[in-house]
Chain A
Amino acid sequence: DAGVIQSPRHEVTEMGQEVTLRCKPISGHDYLFWYRQTMMRGLELLIYFNNNVPIDDSGMPEDRFSAKMPNASFSTLKIQPSEPRDSAVYFCASSLAKRNSPLHFGNGTRLTVT
């Protein structure tokens, strides 16, 4: 099993540009989660999906952020337009639907907005 795969590993962009982060969850997992990690706020849950359907997006900071999961093996997190305060490490994680199944995290995308 290749684990959760995120791309790109690093992204540097200028303020105002569109940024798309990608995630491939572990095959067979039912849940997919997007997190943001910063020194100031720690690890924050942005949005999660169950069987490709968005369940809770209350953690999405602004309308500039959007996430999609068109099928069971792919999800995107888009920021448009990007701002310097969006600079962070973004993690994708997946898990089975079984109660208290552990999270499996990807290695993250380090986003720098200049």
Chain B
Amino acid sequence: AQSVTQLDSQVPVFEEAPVELRCNYSSSVSVYLFWYVQYPNQGLQLLLKYLSGSTLVKGINGFEAEFNKSQTSFHLRKPSVHISDTAEYFCAVSDDGNAGKSTFGDGTTLTVKP
């Protein structure tokens, strides 16, 4: 069985500051990891994914995430946030290659203040 824990439900940050959204997972087999962003009144859209290879994954909008197998973590980072990054962010894990069957975390609300 797989599970995902997003360690922070809310993260407030000032514009142009760096941010890290934390995600820990558990799985008994190989994992595939995803970060999605959800803007108000919209569906989720993929930010980035880790399948294999380099543990540092770059995504859209300047986000990146690092896969750490020993710590079973996949934290999302951005060096300088914008007001437009205000949204909810979801970490997800899949163990069978079907992204639609991923287990999703409870989400982290990122609020960027001016």
Contacts and interface: CB of A to CB of B under 8 A. Distances in A.
A103 B100 contact: yes
Q: Is the interface of A mostly helix, strand, loop or mixed?
A: strand
Contacts, number: 55
Contact of B99 (A56, A91, A101): A101
A100 B90 contact: no
Interface residues of B, number: 23
Interface in B79-100: 90, 94, 97-100
B54 interface: no
Q: How large is the interface on A (under 10, 10 to 19, 20 to 34, 35 or more residues)?
A: 20 to 34
Interface stretch (B11-19, B20-28, B42-50, B64-72): B42-50
Contacts of B105: 42
B7 interface: no
Contacts of B99: 95, 100-103
Interface in A29-43: 31, 33, 42-43
Interface of B: 32, 34, 36, 41-46, 49, 51, 90, 94, 97-102, 104-107
5 contacts: A31-B98, A45-B101, A102-B49, A103-B36, A107-B41
